[in-house]
C-alpha cells in the first residue's frame, strides 16, 4: 500500500514538473533594461525602430572595436576617405579618450583578431565596458556599429552585441547581420535611433549625418 502511495506521489510530482517545464516563460526582450537614448538624437522609444533624424555628435572621434574583428579597420578607411578626424585604437581604454568627443565602437568577434591583440573574449568585454563607462562619465557621444553582416554573428560576436549596443546613443547596422532582429530589438526597446543599411559602404552615407 505504501509503495502504491509513493508511486502515485512520484507520478504526481513528475506530472507537476512537466507542467512547470511546459509553461511558457515570459521572455525579456534583449536590451529591455538598456538606458534610454540619446544625446539629442530623435527616437520614439515607443517600440518602433527609428533612424537618426538629427545630428548630435562632434569630433574628434576615438574609433575602436568590440570583439577585435577587423571591421573597425574598414570603418576607419571609410572615415579617412570622408576626411573625418579620428584616432584608431583597437585596445583603447578610458585613459586613451584624450580630447575625443565621440566614441565609435564597431562590434564583431574574431578569434584571429583576439589572438592578434593578445586578449581573450572576457578580457575584451571588460576592456570595452571600462572604455564605455569612461566615455559616459566624460560626456562623450557613443556610436555603435555592426558592419560585418552574417559573418559576424554567432557565439563569439553575439557575446559583445547586447552589452555594447545597450550603451549606444546611435547605432548603425548592416541588415544581413540582423536577420533575427537582435540589434533592432535592443535599439527599439531602449529608444536608440538606429539606421539599418544594406552594406558597409553605406556607412559613408549615414555616419556623417550624425555629426554636427
Partner 1 sequence: MTKKNYITAALSLALAVAIMVYTGMNFLAARDLPWPEQGPSVTDIKLLSDWFPGLKDTNGDTWVYVLQGQKPGGKMLVLGGTHANEVSGYMSAFTFIETAVVEEGTVYVIPYTNHSAMTHNDPGEGNLQYFTLQTKSGARTFRYGSRATNPVDQWPDPDVYVHFPSGQQLSGSETRNINRGYPGREDGNLTEKMAYGVASLIRAENIDLTFDLHEASPEYPVINATVVHQNAIDIGSEGCMNLLLQGIDMALEQSPINFHGLTHRELGDHTETLAILMETANASQGRLRGATTLNQVLGGWDDCYVVSQKLNMLYVPWDENGHPIEERCGRHLQGIYEYSQAFNNAHPDTPIVYSGVPSYAELFTNADPATLGGAHLGSFLM
Q: Is 195 in the site for partner 1 (CB under 8 A)?
A: no
111 is a contact residue toward partner 1 (CB under 8 A): yes
Contact stretch for partner 1 (CB under 8 A) within 52-60, 75-83, 138-146, 164-172: 75-83
Q: Binding of partner 1 at residue 74 (CB under 8 A)?
A: yes
Task: Measure the CA–CA gap between 172 and 186, rounded to whole angstroms.
Answer: 12
List C-alpha distances in Å: 49 to 27, 34, 156, 161, 184. Answer: 19, 15, 26, 17, 7
Q: Which is nearer to partner 1, 78 or 162 (CB)?
A: 78
Residue 182 makes contact with partner 1 by CB under 8 A:
no
Per-residue binding letters, 132-171, with partner 1 (x by CB under 8 A): ----------------xxxxx-x-----------------
| Closest separation in Å from C-beta 69 to partner 1 | 7
* Buried residues in 70-91 as b, exposed as e (16+ CB within 10 A): bbbebbbebbeeeebebbbbbe
63 DSSP β-pair partners: 88, 104
For residues 210 and 55, the answer to whether their CB atoms sit within 8 Å is yes
Q: Counting contacts by CB under 8 A, is residue 50 touching partner 1?
A: no
Cβ closest to partner 1, residue 78 vs residue 121 = 78
Cβ 46 to partner 1, closest distance in Å?
33
Do 124 and 114 form a contact (C-beta atoms < 8 A)? Answer: yes
116 with 73: CB under 8 angstroms?
no
Residues near partner 1, by CB under 8 A: 68-71, 73-74, 76-78, 110-116, 118, 148-152, 154, 199-201
Amino acid at each position: 500500500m505504501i509503495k502504491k502511495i509513493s508511486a502515485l506521489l512520484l507520478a504526481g510530482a513528475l506530472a507537476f514538473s512537466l507542467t512547470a517545464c511546459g509553461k511558457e516563460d515570459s521572455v525579456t526582450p534583449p536590451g529591455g533594461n538598456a538606458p534610454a537614448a540619446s544625446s539629442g538624437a530623435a527616437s520614439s522609444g515607443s517600440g518602433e525602430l527609428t533612424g537618426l533624424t538629427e545630428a548630435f555628435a562632434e569630433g574628434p572621434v576615438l574609433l575602436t572595436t568590440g570583439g577585435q574583428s577587423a571591421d573597425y579597420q574598414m570603418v576607419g578607411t571609410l572615415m579617412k576617405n570622408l576626411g573625418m578626424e579620428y584616432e584608431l585604437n583597437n585596445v583603447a581604454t578610458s585613459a586613451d579618450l584624450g580630447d575625443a568627443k565621440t566614441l565609435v565602437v564597431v562590434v564583431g568577434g574574431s578569434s584571429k583578431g583576439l589572438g592578434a591583440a593578445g586578449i581573450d573574449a572576457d578580457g575584451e568585454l571588460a576592456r570595452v565596458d571600462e572604455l564605455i563607462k569612461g566615455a559616459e562619465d566624460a560626456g562623450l557621444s557613443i556610436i555603435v556599429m555592426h558592419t560585418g553582416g552574417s559573418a559576424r554573428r554567432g557565439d563569439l560576436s553575439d557575446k559583445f552585441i547586447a552589452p555594447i549596443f545597450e550603451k549606444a546613443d546611435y547605432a548603425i547596422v548592416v541588415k544581413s547581420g540582423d536577420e533575427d532582429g537582435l540589434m533592432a530589438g535592443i535599439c527599439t526597446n531602449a529608444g536608440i535611433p538606429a539606421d539599418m543599411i544594406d552594406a558597409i559602404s553605406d556607412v559613408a552615407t549615414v555616419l556623417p549625418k550624425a555629426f554636427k
